[in-house]
Amino acid sequence: MSKLTLDRILQSQGFGTRKWCSELVADGEVSIAGVPVTDSRVAIETDGLVFTIFGDDWVYREHVYIALNKPANFECSRKASHHPGVLTLLPEQFKRRDVQPVGRLDHDTTGLLLMSDDGPFIHQQSSPKRHIPKIYVATTHDPVTPELVAKLLAGVKLHDEPAPLAAVTCRIVDSHQIEIVLEQGKYHQVKRMLAAADNHCVALRRTQIGKLKLDELELAEGEWCFLSDAQLALLVPDNNVA
């Protein structure tokens, strides 16, 4: 149980500087349980707090854990250069509270992307030492064959990698689609592995991280949601991702 002054609460949730948040409170823009609060220095219990600002209800969260169904042509960068950044798909206050992508998907890769403002969580999820499996579905230029699957499972040599990289599991989806499970998360890994196995990736989608499945989140492209504690518990290192 912890208490914070209302201006600090609003600042922590990304609504602006403490001075700006104090002005919002003084102007009657914030209410709790339907009652306007005009004293920004009042101490409020944060556990379970729901407040209304600009007519919208917001749940206080010490940290946010977000799943985004990333569309194509968005960069996983806070300082995007050639395409819009994924943060433009979220409310502005998330940028102010330093929400950032957990790892990266190429600008043309779609699918499940995690985002958070929790540094240790970002580090843990990004660390190759945790061996968190990620599932990708790749559309290929040439037909998918059992020989291609065998090469990916056996491991292919990539430029600048000291040892061959292999898929954890791999299966044919249809004539030009293959599902690949990886743990390493190397740069352009799926695309480079397919090229090294004498095929070419023309589209790539991440469908699952750990046991968290994008389809079960029911997000259209560009949509996002907060992750519940139960959903966060699915982001565990476990090779049995089915």
d(CA 27, CA 36): 10
Percent of the chain at pLDDT above 90? 81
- Mean pLDDT, residues 80-99: 89
What are the start-end ranges of the E strands in 104-218? 110-116, 134-140, 169-174, 177-182, 201-209, 212-213
* For residue 174, pLDDT beyond 80: yes
- Look at residue 179 in the predicted model and tell me its pLDDT: 98
Write the DSSP string, 21-43. HHHHHHTT-EEETTEE---TT-E
Among 71, 72, 128, 137, CA closest to 103:
128
Q: Is 106 a catalytic residue?
A: yes
Residue among 106, 142, 160, 238 flagged as catalytic? 106
- The dihedrals phi and psi of 108, each to the nearest 5 degrees, come to -95, 0
Q: How many Å apart are CA 57 and CA 47, to the nearest integer?
A: 15
SS3 107: coil
**Where is average pLDDT lowest: 27-41, 68-82, 113-127, 185-199?**
68-82
Confidence of residue 2 (pLDDT cuts 50, 70, 90): confident
Q: Please report, as a single letter, which amino acid is at residue 98.
A: D
Tokens of 138: 């790749």
Reported for 78-83, long-range contacts at CB under 8 A and 24+ positions apart, including other chains, are 82/107, 83/107
List of domains in the chain: 3-59 (3.10.290.10), 65-128+212-232 (3.30.70.580), 133-209 (3.30.70.1560)
Q: Say if residue 240's pLDDT is above 80.
A: no
The candidate with the shortest Cα–Cα distance to 155, out of 184, 126, 125, is 184
Instruction: Please determine, for residue 49, whether its predicted confidence score (pLDDT) is greater than 80.
Output: yes
Q: Please provide the size of the chain in residues.
A: 242
Q: Band of the pLDDT at 116, cuts 50, 70, 90? A: very high
Question: Is the per-residue pLDDT at 77 higher than 80?
Answer: no
pLDDT of 54 over the 80 cut: yes
Phi and psi at residue 56, in whole multiples of 5°?
A: -110, 140
pLDDT-derived band at 1 (thresholds 50, 70, 90) equals: low
- pLDDT band per the 50, 70, 90 thresholds, residue 117: very high
This prediction's pTM: 0.90
pLDDT bin (cut points 50, 70, 90) of residue 227 is very high
Beta carbons of 61 and 228 less than 8 angstroms apart? no
Residue 60 CB burial class (10 angstroms; 0-12, 13-18, ≥19): middle
Determine the average pLDDT of the residues in 38-43: 94
